[in-house]
Amino acid sequence: MKPSTIAFETLLEQLPETYTPADRELVMKAYAVAEEAHREQKRHSGEPYINHCIAVASILAELKVPAEVIAAGLLHDTVEDTSVTLADIRRDFGDTVRLLVDGVTKLTHLPRVSHDAKDVGKGNGADEKVIQPTSLGRKEDMVSETLRKMFLAMSENVDVMLIKLADRLHNIRTLGHMPEHKQKRIAQETLDIFAPLANRLGIWQLKWELEDLSFRYINPEKYKEIVGQLAERRPDRERTLEEIKDKLIKLLEKNNIKAEISGRPKHIYSIYKKMRDKDRTFNMVYDVRAVRLIVPDVPSCYAALGLIHTSWRPIQGEFDDYIAAPKDNFYQSLHTAVKYDDKRPLEVQIRTPEMHLSAEYGIAAHWRYKEGGKQTDKNFEKHINSLRSMMEWRTDVKDAAEFVESMQSDVFKDRVYIQTPRGDIIDLPSGSTPIDFAYHVHTDIGHRCRGAKVNGKLVPLYQELKTNDSVEILTAKRGGPSRDWVNPSLGLVKTQRARSKIKVWFKKQEDEQNLAQGRATLERELQRLGIKETNFENLAHNLEYKTTDELFIALGAADLSISKVIKQFAEAEEIKDILEPNAPATSDKKSSGIEVVGLKGMLANMAKCCAPMPGDEIVGFVTRGRGVTVHRHDCPNILKIQDRERFLKVDWGHAERTYPIPIAIKAYDRQGLMVDVSKLLADENINITNVSVNINRSIADLRLMIEVRDLTQLSKILNRIENLPNVMEARRTNPG
């Protein structure tokens, strides 16, 4: 038998006993497809690629996940690395498996945009996706983007996450075969991201192995040192622990409590972390003996605790009741520490078998209790919902690096438990401040937070909250957050949840300001150009804004320039005929110059009374004997006319021609003003056909007739004139 066949036989034996024949069938079929697809591929170690797939499935089998998840584990690299397609998988395995494989494939897809045959080509079997810098951005950006996608996927489908974690665990188990320069990076990423993720899902079994194996590559010297010390001290330690266990068992039996007692294995990385964080020596960390009691039910937990506390003196501050107040990853236990016979500390954890499984397998404990009843199903739901609420901000944060930081601040951090004045308990990431707390209670309380009392005393808003703190927020009647709150160097706000809400508040304020300013800018410009009636909705629509508010906000925020709006005016293809909205259009073709709809070739004159120009809304008026005269639709002469039969719908053509437009310039008189104005017009190739100047108490009133092409050019020229020294105003006036 081939080694991979033996490995698969072992997997079959590991499958949960609860599997039906159909479940086992599904797993076998998945193996057959994966084995064939990966047949020619090898891993870095030289072994067949399929061994990796079997190993991933086997890690999943240990979690007792449903058969579909095991099948997806076997198939997890087929779509990415072989000719198998998602359609094939749907046909052979159904929608659930397809969804899972698709989810895992999507998580790994991004870094593969740059296919480098040497690193990721088919057949070399490196499962670690090699991340190459590409035109999409820097390496770090792509790593962050992958992680962002992963966390989003996590909040959608936990099974996808489990497969990904199993995949990573096997990769880190076999990291020794990877090129050295990749080992450290992969190990660091595992320690920073995957282990905290396993922790958040409560899967301690995955977490400790991910941590210890990563640590081995990140700090090999320290790792070896601790392993050596552990081996040296083990026999001695095991003897002491046996004594303690005997004593405890006797004590409990005498009081009719059945208990299973085990020494608690200490993991290498957790020993290292304690040494580093609490600045302790190996002996100080290692010498703390720790035992775990598993008793049948919750009353027995407290009974055992009472017995232990009356037999040995409890150490102050070491008692935690995680049964009454479970940790945020739903961990439950009683924790205490006592001074043992030899006056040295002994740590004790007490829990029920159900709590124990949940402590080891976290979210995955769900399947071990499948038959167990509704309670765990409810916990499973609660667990998933709490993950989602921790990531409430997830769709707001688009920047990948910020997203990963937010995961680290809001999701991976340990939690602290804070009391509200009403006695409710709220859990927050450790390091949270009163402002974070306020936003967690209610967005509006966050906005109006002005001070805080912790345990009855006023504290500064940057004070970090601790478990059991009782917090009362002092609020203003109205008002909003301070800009300082989002200044990272002040440390006033630590959670992304609060940051997101503060940003939304400021965005809304800005929107309101920008809206007012944008509207004022546009109205002023329209007035200056002599445009009286405007359909803002059409304008917004033509400029591709959903609402007029959006148009004004864009203008106010300078995302849209006023000249672009004016250009849109000038180019508007359809200028609404407000005089005859129902007039049938008999021709919609445009010719050069002015077209008079339905009366092609008829003579058209520009009315002298209102001097219309392209961009203005216009109307044709049939004169007696002089053809059609074109007026601005708001020309006072036109508005007076009752005889609607004589109006015609007219439109502007596209030909180059100019229109005489009267403008007025108001300025503090100075030498050379007129020279500057005429030079400016000459630069723009604009003719001046008439000039008059009036000076009254050193205010100059210049009246010019200029020949311009359209509104855009007029707007531009008025702007430039207004920017000349001493000029107060330049605007279009009415003729005459």
The footprint of Mn ion (CB under 5 A) covers 77, 127, 167
Beta carbons within 8 Å of 416's beta carbon, 6+ residues apart: 427, 428, 429, 430, 432, 465, 466, 467, 469
CB atoms within 10 A of CB 116: 10
Are residues 273 and 358 in contact, defined by beta-carbon separation less than 8 angstroms?
Answer: no
Closest distance of CB 170 from Mn ion, Å: 7
Are residues 294 and 259 in contact, defined by beta-carbon separation less than 8 angstroms?
Answer: yes
Closest distance of CB 136 from Mn ion, Å: 23
Closest distance of CB 25 from Mn ion, Å: 24
CA neighbor of 550 nearest in space, from 523, 502, 518, 527: 518
The two three-digit tokens of residue 230, written as one number: 């552990």
102 vs 127 by CB, closer to Mn ion: 127
* Distance of alpha carbon 1 from alpha carbon 723, whole angstroms: 89
SS (H, E, C) 129-167: CCCCCECCECHHHHHHHHHHHHHHHHHHCHHHHHHHHHH
DSSP designation for 464: P
* Distance of alpha carbon 377 from alpha carbon 471, whole angstroms: 33
Strand partners, 137: 134
CA neighbor of 362 nearest in space, from 323, 389, 397, 327: 327
Q: What angle do CA 417, 418, 423 make, to 5 degrees?
A: 120
SS3 662: strand
Closest distance of CB 149 from Mn ion, Å: 16
Closest distance of CB 356 from Mn ion, Å: 30
Beta carbons within 8 Å of 498's beta carbon, 6+ residues apart: 435, 436, 438, 439, 440, 446, 485
H or E element that contains 679: helix 673-683
Torsion of CA 133, 138, 139, 140, to 10 degrees: 180
Which of the residues 80, 469, 525, 616 is marked catalytic?
80
60 vs 268 by CB, closer to Mn ion: 60
* Distance of alpha carbon 524 from alpha carbon 566, whole angstroms: 12
**Of how many residues is the chain composed?**
736
Beta carbons within 8 Å of 459's beta carbon, 6+ residues apart: 434, 452, 453
Task: State yes or no: is 81 an active-site residue.
Answer: yes
The two three-digit tokens of residue 387, written as one number: 């993950």
CA neighbor of 355 nearest in space, from 301, 308, 304, 309: 301
111 vs 518 by CB, closer to Mn ion: 111
Which of the residues 35, 68, 81, 651 is marked catalytic?
81
Closest distance of CB 409 from Mn ion, Å: 29
79 vs 154 by CB, closer to Mn ion: 79
Strand partners, 429: 415
Q: Which residue has the tokens 């209610």?
A: 442
Residue showing the smallest CB distance to Mn ion in the complex: 127
* Distance of alpha carbon 578 from alpha carbon 420, whole angstroms: 62
The residue type found at 455 is N
Task: State yes or no: is 68 an active-site residue.
Answer: no
Strand partners, 660: 707
Are residues 154 and 388 in contact, defined by beta-carbon separation less than 8 angstroms?
Answer: no
107 vs 502 by CB, closer to Mn ion: 107
Half-sphere exposure (Cβ direction) of 729: Cα atoms closer than 13 Å? 15
Closest distance of CB 76 from Mn ion, Å: 6
Torsion of CA 344, 350, 356, 359, to 10 degrees: -60
Closest distance of CB 71 from Mn ion, Å: 15
CA distances from 84 to 4, 107, 164, 317 (A): 20, 17, 19, 58
Closest distance of CB 50 from Mn ion, Å: 11
* Distance of alpha carbon 353 from alpha carbon 423, whole angstroms: 30
Closest distance of CB 164 from Mn ion, Å: 9
DSSP designation for 485: G
Residues known to be catalytic: 80-81
